[in-house]
Chains A and B, each alone.
Chain A
Amino acid sequence: MGNYFQPEIECASREQIKAWQDERLVKQVKHVYEHVEMYRQRMDEKGIRPDDIRGIEDLHKLPFTTKDDLRDQYPYGLLAMPLSDCVRIQSTSGTTGRRVVAFYTQHDIDLWDECCARAIVAAGGTKEDVVHVCYGYGLFTGGPGLNGGSHKVGSLTLPMSSGNTDRQIQFMTDLGSTILCCTPSYAAYLAESIIERGLRDKIQLKAGIFGAEAWTEEMRHDIEEKLGIKAYDIYGLTEISGPGVSFECEAQTGMHVNEDHFIAEVINPKTGEVLPDGEKGELVFTSITKEAFPLLRYRTRDICILSHEKCSCGRTHVKMTKPLGRSDDMLIVKGVNVFPSQIETVLLNKGYPANYQIIVTRVNNSDNLEVQVEMTPEMFSDSLSAIAEKEKELVSALKAMLGIYADVKLVAPKTITRSEGKAVRVIDKRNLYQN
Chain B
Amino acid sequence: MTVKQISVFVENKIGNLAEVTKILADAGINLCAISLADTKNFGVLRLIVDDSYNAATALKEHGFIFSITPVLAVSVPDVPGGLYRILTLLEDNGINLEYLYDVNSQKMDSACLIFKVERPEDAGKALTKHQVHLLCQEDLKSLI
Contact = CB atoms under 8 A, between A and B. Distances in A.
A195 interface: no
Contacts, number: 48
Contacts of A415: 11
Contact of B9 (A375, A383, A409, A414): A375
A161 B141 CA distance: 65
A349 to B, nearest CB: 22
A410 B16 CA distance: 14
Contacts of A387: 39, 42, 44
Interface in B31-65: 37, 39, 41-42, 44, 46, 63-65
A384 B69 CA distance: 13
B42 A410 contact: yes
A9 B109 CA distance: 95
A377 B116 CA distance: 20
B73 to A, nearest CB: 16
A377 B63 CA distance: 10
Contacts of A411: 11, 42
A414 B7 contact: no
B67 to A, nearest CB: 5
B93 to A, nearest CB: 21
A48 B109 CA distance: 95
Interface in A373-393: 375-377, 380-384, 387-388
Given A382-B5, A382-B7, A383-B98, A410 B63 contact: no
Interface residues of B, number: 21
A375 B65 contact: yes
A382 B44 contact: yes
Given A382-B7, A382-B116, A413 B41 contact: no
B101 interface: no
A19 interface: no
Nearest to A370: B41
A375 B11 CA distance: 10
- For A380, A413, A414, the residue with the greatest tally of chain B CB atoms inside 10 Å of its CB is A380
Contact of B65 (A380, A383, A384): A380
B98 A380 contact: no
Contact of B44 (A376, A377, A384, A412): A384
A381 B67 contact: yes
Interface in A193-219: none
A411 B13 CA distance: 10
A409 B37 CA distance: 17
A376 B11 CA distance: 13
Contacts of A377: 65, 67
Contacts of A412: 9-11, 13, 16, 63-65
Interface in A381-432: 381-384, 387-388, 409-415
Interface string B1-40: 0000101011101001000000000000000000001010
Given A380-B67, A410-B41, A412-B11, 7 more contacts: A377-B65, A377-B67, A380-B7, A410-B11, A412-B9, A413-B65, A414-B63
28 contacts: A375-B9, A376-B65, A377-B65, A380-B7, A380-B66, A381-B7, A381-B67, A382-B7, A382-B44, A382-B46, A382-B67, A382-B69, A384-B37, A384-B44, A387-B39, A387-B42, A387-B44, A410-B41, A411-B11, A411-B42, A412-B11, A412-B13, A412-B16, A412-B64, A412-B65, A413-B63, A414-B63, A415-B11
